[in-house]
C-alpha cells in the first residue's frame, strides 16, 4: 500500500464521512437542489423547461402574453442559470405586449419579478420597439424603480430604465 492511500473501511470515520457526503450529494441531485430546482417549477411548466432553449424560444410565442410572463418569471426565479433569454421573444411582441407588461409590472410585489419585467422592457426598447416616447412605460418603470429597496435590483433596474428612456444609445445607434 502506498503512503498516500488510506483504506476506506465503511466502519472508519473517513469512510462514514465519504458515505455521508455521497448520500447528501445524491439526495441533493435527486431533489433538484443541484440541477436548477426543477421540483419547484410548477408541474404544468416542466415540459416547457425540458425543451431545448431554441425550442423554448419558439414555443413560448404560442402562448398568450400572461402565460409567457408566468413561464419567464417562474424560470428566472428557480432555474440556474436563469433563462433570461426568454425575455427576447416576449419583447419581440412590441406594442402589443406593452399594456399586459405594464399591468404585470404594476401588480408585481416582488422586486425580482419587477426587475425581470423591466428587463423585458429594456430588451424591447433596445432591439425591437422604441419606448422612450411612451410616457406611460417610462413613468411606470421609474416609479417602480424608485420604490425598490434592494440596492442590487435597484441599480440593475436603473440601468434598464436608462435604456428604456433612451438615455443610453442602443446597439443600433452605436
Contact 90, 104 (CB under 8 A): no
Query: Is residue 12 pLDDT above 60, yes or no?
Result: no
Query: Is residue 157 pLDDT above 50, yes or no?
Result: yes
Query: Is residue 26 pLDDT above 50, yes or no?
Result: no
Average pLDDT, the chain: 84
- Domain range summary for the chain, segments of one domain joined by +: 10-40, 42-169
Q: Where is mean pLDDT largest: 5-9, 83-87, 166-170?
A: 83-87
pTM of the model: 0.76
- The secondary structure of 68-137 as a DSSP string is HHHHHHHHHHHSSS--GGGHHHHHTTGGGTHHHHHHHHHH--SHHHHHHHHHHHHHIIIII---TT-HHH
Amino acid at each position: 500500500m502506498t503512503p498516500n492511500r488510506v483504506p476506506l473501511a465503511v466502519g472508519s470515520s473517513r469512510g462514514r464521512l465519504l458515505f455521508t457526503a455521497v448520500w447528501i450529494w445524491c439526495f441533493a441531485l435527486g431533489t433538484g437542489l443541484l440541477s436548477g430546482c426543477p421540483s419547484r417549477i410548477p408541474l404544468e411548466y416542466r415540459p416547457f423547461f425540458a425543451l431545448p432553449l431554441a425550442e423554448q424560444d419558439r414555443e413560448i410565442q404560442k402562448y398568450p402574453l400572461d402565460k409567457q410572463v408566468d413561464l419567464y418569471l417562474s424560470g428566472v426565479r428557480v432555474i440556474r442559470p436563469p433563462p433570461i433569454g426568454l425575455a427576447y421573444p416576449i419583447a419581440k411582441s412590441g406594442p402589443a405586449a406593452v399594456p399586459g407588461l405594464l399591468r404585470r409590472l404594476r401588480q408585481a410585489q416582488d422586486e425580482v419579478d419587477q426587475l425581470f419585467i423591466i428587463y423585458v422592457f429594456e430588451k424591447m426598447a433596445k432591439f425591437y420597439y422604441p419606448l422612450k416616447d411612451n410616457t406611460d412605460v417610462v413613468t411606470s418603470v421609474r416609479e417602480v424603480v424608485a420604490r425598490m429597496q434592494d440596492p442590487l435590483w435597484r441599480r440593475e433596474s436603473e440601468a434598464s430604465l436608462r435604456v428604456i428612456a433612451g438615455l443610453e444609445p442602443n446597439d443600433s445607434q452605436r
